[in-house]
């Protein structure tokens, strides 16, 4: 047996019929053994147990990270400060299901939220729309995130105000983009002739800050809660995922949760050597140690997953893009830059650099066994899609020699292949849960708190005096404690 095929066997793992092939990571048996030993020495198994047990692993905010409870369909008790959270979670499921059966004649849903209150449902709505057999209510689901009114204008030009429902989604209910967009949509409903009671009837909220939602004017029984122990970027499993249930039905939403739960159980119970999220995390750590990699790419060979890299960017980089560890000490490594987009389109964009650039950039190739449409051409097209995916991984791994240096492919460029049997709600849930658990594993191994995001606050604070200066329309703003000379100059340019 050649080394290549030995590696191929030893590097193929599966869970829930998802296959992970790490053969092109170039890690031999001894290498893997070392990686698993070091993971054990870093107490990874204890960390995983603590996470599911609701220990306050988000130590800076003194909270657990229990998004797993949101997909705990078996309702096994999950305790926070001695109280089981599952009855409250199940009550939200009951209300989501009831709402799915209640909405009739709705043409448009405007989901207003940003970051973790946007990416997950946006990805799921788009990914599942491609499932040939899926039943859809056929509503137009509009995602409004950007404060740039281009998005608002585009949506309002299409939506029918008298048959629109609005869901304001914000864990904190203090996010400026979300509250300004929500106010603008309310104003549009009113100016389109909706009465006060029609506006109230149309307005829903999903939040961990119920008083603020009420203050905004959302009726109490239109507020769907989630909780401080759910990080925003881990929240699609809560009522943040409401559009998934409304569009594709509650059973589909449950399937999505079931896939995520199944992956949680695998992550919690499988030995490290067979544990998909752990193996993927260790492969990345290995490449970081070996090649000091600064970026990695995720390329789903499925057009339906084009939003996946954007969702993953927040998950990985907001969770683990940090310079200090849990004890405030500088870290050697933390999250590389994550980028990607659907293949094969991606091949016609940045693959030149992946093959021949000076940086080694590990790649996760994600492929789906089944074609993603029931078009007569589907099988032939899908074969080409898959052959491209396999060919790229092989070319990157093995390289190619040539007499002309311009034609040399250096090879030894590592990649994973993650093969999903199909892309339905179950496997989408499992895929996202796999990456969430991988992010938690990476954080644990870097000794980073993956569940806070202090680095996003400072810019928000600085934007306030700048906005005030812009609103003054003065073009003689001077540098001050809040605004430095460069920014003062830029404000003056904009105001002149
Ligand atoms: O600014 C970053 C952030 O806090 C993310 O962590 C979060 O997903 C997003 O803003 C939206 O926050 P919220 O759901 O509270 O509106």
Which tokens go with 353? 């650099």
Q: Which atom of ligand 1 is nearest to the CA of 460?
A: 1
What is the residue extent of each domain of the chain? 3-61+257-446, 103-248, 455-495
Q: Cα angle at 399 between 397 and 292, to 5 degrees?
A: 55
- Count of alpha carbons within 13 Å of 281, Cβ hemisphere only? 30
When computed from its CA atoms, the radius of gyration of the chain, rounded to whole angstroms, is 24
Q: Cα angle at 24 between 21 and 30, to 5 degrees?
A: 90
Catalytic residue check, 348:
yes
Whether 313 lines ligand 1, by a CB cut-off of 6 Å, is no
Whether 121 lines ligand 1, by a CB cut-off of 6 Å, is no
Whether 456 lines ligand 1, by a CB cut-off of 6 Å, is yes
Q: Cα angle at 446 between 54 and 296, to 5 degrees?
A: 110
Q: Cα angle at 406 between 404 and 408, to 5 degrees?
A: 75
Residue 2, pLDDT score: 55
Decide whether 3-61+257-446 matches 103-248 in CATH topology: yes
For residue 233, the CA-to-ligand 1 centroid distance in Å is 8
Catalytic residue check, 460:
yes
Question: Which residue's CA is minimally distant from atom 10 of ligand 1?
Answer: 115
Q: Which atom of ligand 1 is nearest to the CA of 457?
A: 1
- Which of 385, 288, 404, 298 is CA-nearest to residue 350? 298
> What 3-state class would DSSP assign to 143?
strand
Task: Please choose from 111, 115, 224, 461 the residue to mutate so as to test ligand 1's pocket, defined by most ligand atoms within 8 A of CB.
Answer: 115
Distance CA 199, CA 206 (A): 17
Statement: 103-248 belongs to CATH 3.40.50.10490: yes
Residue 131, pLDDT score: 83
For residue 447, the CA-to-ligand 1 centroid distance in Å is 23
Catalytic residue among 460, 464, 467, 468, which?
460
Residue 361, pLDDT score: 98
Task: Please choose from 67, 167, 232 the residue to mutate so as to test ligand 1's pocket, defined by most ligand atoms within 8 A of CB.
Answer: 232
Which residue in this structure is represented by tokens 């991984």? 393
The distance of Cα 52 from the centroid of its chain, to the nearest Å, equals: 20
Residue 4, pLDDT score: 53
Q: Which atom of ligand 1 is nearest to the CA of 233?
A: 8
Q: What is the pLDDT along the chain (496 residues), one digit of tens a residue?
A: 554 555 556 799 999 999 999 999 999 999 999 999 999 999 999 999 999 999 999 999 999 999 999 999 999 999 998 999 999 999 999 999 999 989 889 999 999 999 999 999 999 999 999 887 788 888 999 999 999 999 999 999 999 999 999 999 999 999 999 999 999 999 999 999 999 999 999 999 999 999 999 999 999 999 999 999 999 999 999 999 999 999 999 999 999 999 999 999 999 999 999 999 999 999 999 999 999 999 999 999 999 999 999 999 999 999 999 999 999 999 999 999 999 999 999 999 999 999 999 999 999 999 999 998 889 999 999 999 999 999 999 999 999 999 999 999 999 999 999 999 999 999 999 999 999 999 999 999 999 999 999 999 999 999 999 999 999 999 999 999 999 999 999 999 999 9
For residue 169, the CA-to-ligand 1 centroid distance in Å is 10
Residue 135, pLDDT score: 86
Residue 8, pLDDT score: 58
Which tokens go with 446? 């870097």
Distance CA 240, CA 111 (A): 9
- Which of 421, 395, 435 is CA-nearest to residue 279? 435
Distance CA 377, CA 362 (A): 32
The dotted CATH code for 3-61+257-446 is 3.40.50.10490
Which residue in this structure is represented by tokens 């019929």? 17
CB 207 within 8 A of CB 226: yes
Which tokens go with 265? 């159980």
Whether 175 lines ligand 1, by a CB cut-off of 6 Å, is yes
Distance CA 196, CA 1 (A): 75
- Count of alpha carbons within 13 Å of 421, Cβ hemisphere only? 10
Residues contacting residue 68 through CB under 8 Å, at least 6 positions apart: 51, 52, 78, 261, 264
């Amino acid at each position: 047996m050649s080394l290549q095929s030995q590696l191929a066997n030893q590097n193929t793992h599966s869970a829930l019929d998802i296959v992970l092939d790490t053969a092109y990571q170039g890690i031999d048996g001894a290498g893997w053994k070392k990686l698993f030993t070091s993971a054990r020495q870093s107490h990874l198994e204890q960390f995983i147990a603590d996470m599911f047990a609701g220990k306050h692993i988000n130590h800076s905010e003194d909270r657990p990270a229990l998004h797993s409870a949101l997909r705990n369909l078996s309702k096994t008790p999950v305790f926070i400060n001695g109280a089981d959270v599952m009855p409250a979670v199940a009550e939200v499921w009951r209300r989501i299901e009831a709402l799915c059966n209640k909405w009739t004649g709705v043409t448009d849903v405007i989901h207003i939220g940003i970051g973790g209150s946007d990416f997950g449902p946006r990805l799921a709505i788009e990914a599942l729309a491609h499932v040939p057999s899926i039943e859809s209510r056929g509503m137009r689901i509009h995602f409004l995130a950007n404060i740039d009114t281009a998005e608002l204008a585009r949506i309002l030009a299409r939506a029918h105000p008298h048959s629109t429902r609005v869901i304001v989604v914000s864990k904190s209910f203090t996010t400026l983009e979300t509250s300004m967009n929500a106010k603008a949509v309310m104003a549009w409903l009113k100016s389109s002739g909706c009465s006060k009671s029609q506006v109230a009837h149309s307005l829903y909220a999903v939040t961990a800050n119920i008083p603020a939602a009420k203050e905004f004017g959302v009726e109490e029984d239109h507020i769907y809660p989630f909780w401080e122990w759910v990080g925003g970027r881990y929240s699609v499993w809560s009522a943040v995922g409401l559009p998934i249930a409304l569009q594709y039905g509650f059973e589909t939403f449950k399937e999505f949760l079931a896939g995520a739960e199944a992956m949680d159980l695998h992550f919690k119970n499988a030995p490290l050597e067979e544990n998909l999220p752990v193996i993927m995390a260790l492969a990345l750590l290995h490449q970081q140690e070996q090649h000091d990699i600064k970026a990695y790419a995720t390329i789903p060979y499925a057009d339906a997953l084009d939003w996946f890299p954007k969702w993953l960017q927040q998950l990985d980089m907001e969770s683990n893009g940090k310079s200090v560890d849990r004890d405030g000490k500088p870290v050697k490594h933390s999250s590389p830059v994550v980028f990607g987009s659907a293949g094969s389109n991606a091949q016609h964009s940045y693959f030149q650099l992946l093959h021949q650039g000076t940086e080694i950039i590990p790649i996760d190739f994600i492929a789906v066994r089944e074609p993603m449409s029931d078009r007569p051409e589907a099988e032939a097209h899908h074969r080409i899609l898959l052959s491209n995916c396999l060919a790229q991984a092989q070319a990157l791994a093995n390289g190619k020699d040539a007499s002309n240096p311009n034609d040399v492919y250096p090879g030894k460029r590592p990649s994973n292949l993650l093969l999903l049997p199909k892309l339905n709600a179950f496997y989408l849930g499992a895929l996202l849960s796999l990456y969430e658990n991988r992010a938690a594993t990476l954080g644990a191994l870097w000794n980073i708190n993956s569940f806070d995001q202090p680095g996003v606050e400072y810019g928000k604070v600085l934007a306030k005096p700048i906005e005030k200066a812009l609103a003054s329309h003065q073009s003689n703003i001077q540098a001050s404690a809040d605004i430095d000379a460069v920014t003062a100059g830029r404000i003056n340019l904009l105001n002149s």
